[in-house]
Structures are given as structure tokens and as C-alpha cells.
Amino acid sequence: MSKKHAGGQQKEANVAVVIMAAGKGTRLKSRKPKVLHEVGGRTLLSHVIAAASGVVDAKQIFTIVGHEAERVQNAVAEFGTRFVEQPEQRGTGHAIQTALKSITDYENVLVLSGDVPLIRTETIEQLWRFHQKEDAAMTILTAAPENPNGYGRVVRRRAGSAEVESIVEDEALTSAQRSIKEINSGIYAFKTSALEQYLGGLKANNARGELYLTDMAGVLRAAGERVVAVQAEDAAEVLGANTLAELAALDARMRATTANRLMAAGVTIFRPDTCVIDAGVEVEADAIIEPFVQLLGRTKIGAETRVRSFSVIENCTVGERVIIRQSCVLADSSVGDGADIGPFARLRPGSEIGEDVHIGNFVEVKKSKLHAGVKAGHLAYLGDSEIGAGTNIGAGVITCNYDGVHKHATRIGKGVFVGSDSTLVAPIAIDDGAYIGAGSCITKDVPAGALAVGRGRQVTKEGWAEARRARRKAQEQG
């Protein structure tokens, strides 16, 4: 049974997803919970939840938390999933025992690991469809990596059979079994009724004294229940990481996949191996990404836009036909079509750059709206401002938006000319068509069409420099 959501996507209704994310990950030698380490710009757990969200609604996803539970919950709160707390971590079997009472309304449950970020929605669906087709009590997602050493092997009842005889841990393999390439991924589908009936039969008869969900295969087989396996198409999807080096390898793999996806969609990326592109980034066809660019978070880049080397863009929406020149830093901002940014420009959070705006070298914009055609070519700071269409901001202009306690706004109208090296002391309004003389300190509002000059009158004393040099020479000789 499935239900249709807005947008036409079918999501399953009679299955829950349980994600195991309670462990410490001590082998990473980090104080951070393992599932909160990042690859591809998102936490390990976020990737898994995102993949599961393509199969079921968020409210059907139950994340088991334990170590630093509150921190983990806060990190993925945006997804709107449910949480089950496992205060004492006594193994994967114990984790599912803890979650069981929360999922009894569902006929089936998919069990995922919170530290396998490469898992795809399509693979979770593959597991779910096979589980339904085989009408099994337990379905195991397997993989066949080139090097299976260290992983438990899946022993099938006979060659070509879907049914599983047993799962044998690596250290317990016989010489004949060691030739088996198929491994247990730790990802499963269960009938909920089978868990309710048999999960209590797990025994902690191992060196760590824990309850292992892997052992359910043997428990169910002994009870005459059907246990089957289906192999993932790509073994890399089920890879986890126990060291920071392994995390880095997963990150590289994910970013390479992202770059290849974008290039297949018509994006030119020069030297993709040098670029850092997060998994959630969207780039339209005919955009060009030069070497050593970072595109982070939820950034979106429009068609025919060019991002030049060493620029860093995070959580920004950039329009079409934009040029982001070398070494620009943009964060939490938007850039309209045809804009020209940089080089060495900075857009701080809350900046709205309109169409055909020019932001030049060493210009910093913060929480400001620049309407179409504004030009700020050199060495300016524009903070807490709104600047009307066609206005020109001269070199060295700054908006003095902070009085030591509060921030204040600057409003500049359309077609204004602000001369170089002017300071605009907020709160202040400069109306349409006004001129500000170079070097002015403007502290009062300027009406439309007016000229405002706020600087000391120039005084020229002829012969002063020559007289001064003569006095110094006389002092030195005396």
C-alpha cells in the first residue's frame, strides 16, 4: 500500500524506517558523535535520512539516538523525523528492541545505519520491493566489494537462491567460506510481527556482551521463518567509515559523484578534482566552474554563469549569466541575472544583489539590497543598506551602520552618485538623483536632486613646505 503526495511522488504507508544512530564512534577518536561527522557537506545521518525520505514520510522515520542524543536531534531537526532514545547502548539488537514499541503500527520495518552516507533512495526501494516480493520475515541487503575482508559473509542455501542459510563473521569463516565475496551490509527489512515474536530470543553470547541484530538471521531460520538477501548494485553504497581517513575517502567519492552528475547535465567543470562541491548544490546547464572553486550547502547556480577560481559560495542563489570573478566569498545571499562580482569581493549573509549590478574588487556587502544596475567598483563597505537602481558608489565609500550599540539603516535612492571616500553615517536617507561630493562625511538626510558636501574647506599656504625644510636644515647645522 502506498499514498500519493503533492507533486505526484508515491511514498509507502505500511512500513517504518528505523535508523541506528546511538553509538559513539570511538574509533574516530573524536568527541563528536560519529553520525554528525560530515561528507559531501552534510552529516552522515543527514544523508541517510534524506535517502529514506524518498521512500516514506518523515513521520515514518525513527532515529535511534543515545550518545549526545540532544545534539544529534538538533542537528537533523529540519527533517521532522521522530526519535527513540537508547540511554544504554547494548548493541544493534538492543537498539531495535528499544524502538520496537514505537513501530508496532507498521507491518514492516526497514533498518538502516546512520553512518552509511552513500546509500541511495533507489537502493532502499530495491530492498523494500524485494522484501515484499519474497514475503520474507527478514531481508538482508548485501554487497560484493572487491575486498570483503573484515565483513561478515552471507551464506546462501544454494547458488542462485534468494534464501540465506547464515551470516558468518569474518573471524569465524572456514577456508571454503572465505572465498565468498557477498557481505552483510547491516541494512535489513523485517516483518514487524517477526521482530515482536523473535527479537527477545537474541543472546549476548559474544565478547562484548551485546545483542546483535545480525543474529536474527539465525534465530528466524531456526524458527522456520523465511530469510532472504538481495545484493546492492554498487557495493560502495553500504560503506561506512571507522577512521577520519576513511571518512575523507567517502567524501571524495561523494564529491566526485556530484561533479560527474553536474557535468552529465551540461555543466562545465575544469579540474573537478580540485573543486569542493557539496551534494546539495544545484547548477544549471552551460554554467562554467573553474578550478579550486567551493560550492557549498544549498547553493544554486544559474545557466551560463561563470565562477572563477578560488571563489567560495555557500547557501547562495546565483542567477543566469553572472560572472563571479576570482577569490570572491559569498554566503547566504542572492545574486541577480547578469551581475558582475569581484574579484576579491565579499557578500555577507542577507545580501540581495539585483540584475546587472557590479560589485568590484575589495567591496564588502552585508545585509543590503542593491537594485538593478548599481555599481560599487572599489574598496567599499555597504552594510544594512538599500540602494536604488542605477546608483554609483565611489571608491572607498562606507556606510557607518553601527553606533557601538545598535545597527542602523542607510537608504539611497535611484540614480544617486556617491563620491569617493565618503562616509554615510546611518540612520540616513539620500533621495533619488542626489550627488555626494568626494570625501564627504554625511550625517543628515539629502533631498532628491541635491548636492551634499560635508568636508572641511581646503586651506593652501604657499611656501610653507620650503620654509619648513629650511628650518629643519638650520636646526641640524646648529
Q: Which residues are known to be catalytic?
A: 378
Asked if 357 and 347 touch (Cβ cutoff 8 Å), the reply is no
Cβ neighbors of 459 (< 8 A, separation 6 or more) are none
| Residues 247, 255 contacting (CB under 8 angstroms) | no
Q: Residue 246 to residues 72, 77, 106, 320, 351: CA-CA distances in angstroms?
A: 21, 27, 36, 37, 38
From 391, 384, 390, select the one nearest 364 (Cα to Cα).
384
* CA end-to-end span of the chain: 105
Spell 405-422 as b/e; 16+ CB within 10 A means b.
Answer: eeeebbbbbbbbbbbbbb
Judge if the upstream peptide bond of residue 291 is cis by omega within 30 degrees of 0.
Answer: no
Gyration radius of the chain over CA positions: 31
Dihedral angle sign, alpha carbons of residues 209, 211, 216, 217: negative
Other CB atoms within a 10 A radius of the CB of residue 144 amount to 14
Q: Are 259 and 278 in contact (CB under 8 A)?
A: no
Q: How far is CA 138 from the centre of its chain?
A: 34
